[in-house]
Amino acid sequence: MVYEEYGKNIAIMRYDDPNNWVKLLEDTVKKFPDRPYIGQKDEKGVFQWITYKIFSKRVDNLRAALEKIGIIKGDSVGIIANNRMEWILGAMATFGLIAKWVPMYEKELIDTWKYIIKDSQIKVLFVANNEIYEKMKHFADEIPTLEKIYIIESEADNSLATLEKMGEQHPIPPKEPLFSDIACIIYTSGTTGDPKGVILSHGNVTNNMMAGRNIYPELNEKCVALSILPWAHSYAQTAELCLFTYLGASIGITDVEHMSEDLSTVNPTHLISVPRLFNKIYDGIHRLMDEEGGIKKKLFYMAKEAAKKKRETGKAGLKFKLLDKVVFGKVRARFGTRLVCSLTASAKTELEIANFFYDIGVPIYDCYGLSETSPALCMNCPSFHKLGSVGKPIEKVKLEITKEGEIIAFAPFVMQGYLNKPEKTAAIMVEDENGIKGVKTGDIGHFDEEGYVFITGRIKNEYKLLNGKYVHPAAIEEYIKLIPWVANCMVYGDGKEYNVALIVPDMEKAKLYAEAVNLSLPPEKVIQIPEVQILIGKEIKAHLKGKFGGYEIPMKFYFTTEDMTLENSMLTQTFKLKRRNVLKKYGEHLENLYKKS
């Protein structure tokens, strides 16, 4: 069926395009057997790369071993591990038996692992290391379906290496899944309850990947990604892992701690990222310039102004060309020498930050989607790009907007449903007049006159003040975090007379402040000084004035030095606030702000 996008026919998937992970890998191995595929660091910190041909052989071995120990079509195979070569090795071996792949995060609550293993009826589980194994080995006695646990970083009898060797003796060809066969179960972050298992078929993921790929025709096998987002999330799994495997391209694996040094080592052409990472880079650059002071700071801000003028007029004068080379050239060098662009999703990039990176020649293309849609629905790209928007709908996507402003999305990559949750599935899934599956996104948005989509809030996160006015806290929070004093925050005020906010101050800024005013106190003590809290509060209010309505600006603040992190379960894996968890800890403090005069 041909979908309509603003009255225009959009080409359907070509017959030779892969509609499952198995064919996708086989096609790539035939075309690019000797190209480097996955690169990860060895014990000395040196990147080691595996070619597609060697990787494919290891997939054959592991697939045979999984069948030998009893994995059949429809079974669930799970993994608790960060991104690594063995992650996709296990996934591809599982796909070749038409079994289901269930990934979990290393940084997760033990109870959440247990819930997912039980809910998805995992039969065989891979874990990254002995540390994780020791935390959950007792699951085998408590969950009837869990038969075997294998450790990746181990030489014991239950190691992945031992399992692969078993498979060498029993080669079997892969089974090719159908479009509708289940590929993976992606568990959502559980910001509003227990995690929900999003059921995605092979066709869901590969269709979505191809629809996104088709608006980036310049992508090819020579592209290189630096992987930082977890493949256990649908965004990185589709936009990075599936896409770059299809291309025959290369993926180097890093983490937040080592991203800066690995950018120069891997020298990527593309980054699949989230706005929070660029926010940190933006803050770091501006903090460094302010600390340097003098001519460096003056040249930096002159360059920013010249770049802004170029963006607004479309003309690059001599002043911009000189400053771009002297100032912005050094900033670009931090990303390597060949970065073309970065795709960001999960949240909207603040316009101020998007403009900055666009001006310096490192464009950020905001995209939009849900785990429930495999995930991409809208994307910016070099051919059509509007800062502040999330782009236009990609191929085969039809969006409708209700009277309340909620976006309803219809596409062939809409999920099969939530695992074991028929009521929640029924609450979100709909059909159009042609019987095409769709989902209620829960996002509020609108189209502009050119068909670009703008996301303005979440129905669930939206709340009403006592004056009857609605507040979208996420937009206010992102803007507050642009202030050098603020590392993180949460705005609160549902049913209240005015908003208040929880503020996590930036400890580095507090340290610099103490030095500037000759205070011999650690940053944690500096933040407790009432005058400092008043100063930060005034900066926040001044920063928001003119950007938001007076009723949206927080009137009072509660300060804490404990950041919201993955470890304390206040952030999701893509750095969204788990508001329910934050309120469990700080709700009483925020309520008390309304009691004080």
Residue 123, CA distances (Å) to 91, 92, 149, 169, 577 in order: 14, 16, 9, 22, 32
Per-residue pLDDT, averaged over 92-121, amounts to 96
Instruction: Please state, rounded to an integer, the average pLDDT across all residues of the chain.
Output: 91
Q: Over 80: is that where the pLDDT of 12 sits?
A: no
Nearest to 377 by CA among 386, 367, 385: 367
Helix (H) or strand (E) holding 558: strand 556-559
Q: Comparing 121-125, 129-133, 350-354, 583-587, which segment has the lowest mean pLDDT?
A: 350-354
Mean pLDDT within 519-534: 93
DSSP string covering 349-418: PPHHHHHHHHHHT--EEEEEE-GGGSSEEEE--SSS--TTS--EE-TT-EEEE-TT-EEEEE-TT--SEE
Q: Give the pLDDT band (50/70/90) at residue 596.
A: low
Q: What is the mean pLDDT of residues 418-447?
A: 94
Strand positions, DSSP E, 76-189: 76-80, 100-104, 122-127, 148-151, 182-187
3 state SS of 172: coil
Sequence-ordered list of residues with C-beta below 8 angstroms from that of 345, at least 6 positions apart, any chain: 235, 239, 274, 366, 367, 368, 369, 375, 376
Model confidence pLDDT, tens digit, residues 120-160: 999 999 999 999 999 999 999 999 999 999 999 999 999 99
Contact status, residue 539 vs residue 485, Cβ threshold 8 Å: yes
Q: What is the pLDDT of residue 576?
A: 82
Residues 52, 53, 56: CA angle, nearest 5 degrees: 80
Q: Which of 112-126, 204-218, 334-348 has the lowest mean pLDDT?
A: 334-348
The beta strand positions in 55-164, using DSSP E, are 76-80, 100-104, 122-127, 148-151
Phi then psi for residue 240, to 5 deg, are -110, -60
Find out whether 299 and 327 touch, Cβ atoms under 8 Å: yes
**Parallel, antiparallel, or unpaired for β 197-201 and 182-187?**
antiparallel
Contacts of 250 (CB under 8 A, 6+ apart): 35, 36, 37, 38, 39, 49, 223, 224, 225, 244
pLDDT surpassing 90 at residue 492 = yes
The 10s digit of each residue's pLDDT in 364-410 is 999 999 999 999 999 999 999 998 899 999 999 999 999 989 999 99
pLDDT per residue as tens digits for the range 479-491: 899 898 999 999 9
For residue 80, the Cα-to-chain-centroid distance in whole angstroms is 18
Report whether pLDDT(11) > 50: no
Euclidean distance between CA atoms 405 and 387, whole angstroms:
21
Give me the amino acid identity at 311: R
Task: Provide the token pair at 538.
Answer: 């005034």
- Backbone φ and ψ of 104, nearest 5°: -135, 160
Query: How do 100-104 and 36-41 pair as beta strands?
Result: unpaired
Sign of CA dihedral 391, 392, 398, 403: positive
